[in-house]
Structure 1
């Protein structure tokens, strides 16, 4: 699915959010590796599950044509600084839902970019007839959990000792879901 660009100004910084384009693939490949190394909140260690430029181009191409997929990028001064993706599945029993994920480069935290990517994704899902959005979040990422709750997500479960980080400790993953707003 393709969405039109929207422009925002927060704390004297202009940024835009738009659908990803194939020309973004190389930059997205690098950004993903960068972000994975900036926070423990991601599922991957830096460089794991690497997606190269061709891989991202393929994802963008597929997402542009699937009505249950959405791939957004946040851009500051012609530089991609974050992205969000909603991915549906082709199985009929699960066609009513999408899984949401978001990430923003650490340098751009505090400008509401992740929240805006989330809000636009929710609006798209509600207007596209998606009945349920799901996501997984690191159990210790309290700020993200609270944000998700504020926009209508509920905790649906906990996967205990689901992941092990570089500190050798196990961490829980919270499973959250949000049902379509009918307002």
Structure 2
């Protein structure tokens, strides 16, 4: 299991730790809420919903795969956010994993997403991976700057990839971090 030190910002204490099956119910509720708080993610609230049972199975499956990592950020005894790295068992893709993250809006600005990302990078290097990838909405400039500061580079643009509530299409930026 991966555990980070306790972090503190603006009088909020939080820890980053690996997800456990007992987190499934809370994760289901947190993801549902996050999906309704921002358009930076792929889903609108309620789409592709993972219930407690499906989250529990995902956590168990990830814990059994050396190429996957599921982290949660816990603040004040409750889940404030999570991240997941999903690798592949395919030989030609086994050197990389895709990173995704979500943080409840009430915890934005505390560095939780940054800590989840940095812990994922440390895990990926220790696991022998050579690359992390991610996708980010072009308008999420703060996230893009964070990813660039952590060594990610733009690898491509998926044009008109997302259709948002304003009736317009937006590009998705594909980014990757490669190390030797």
The bucket for the TM-score relative to the shorter chain is over 0.9
- 1:98–1:134 Cα contact (<8 Å) kept: yes
Displacement after TM superposition at 1:13 (Å): 1.3
2:117 aligns with 118
Deviation readout 1:89-139 (Å, 9 max, x if unpaired): 111110000000011000000110010100110111111111000000001
Unaligned runs of 5+ in 1: none
1:33 aligns with 32
2:171 aligns with 172
Aligned to 1:92, the other structure's residue is in SS state coil
Equivalences for residues 1-183 of structure 1 within 5 A? 2-180=1-179
Displacement after TM superposition at 1:6 (Å): 3.0
Unaligned runs of 5+ in 2: none
Q: 2: distance between equivalents of 1:4 and 1:168? A: 42
What is the RMSD computed on CA atoms of the aligned residues? Answer: 0.9
Q: 2: distance between equivalents of 1:159 and 1:25? A: 32
- 2:132–2:178 Cα contact (<8 Å) kept: yes
Runs of 4+ in 1 over 6 A off after TM superposition: none
Q: 2: distance between equivalents of 1:98 and 1:120? A: 14
Equivalent residues, number = 180
Q: 2: distance between equivalents of 1:130 and 1:155? A: 19
- TM-score by length of structure 2 reads 0.97
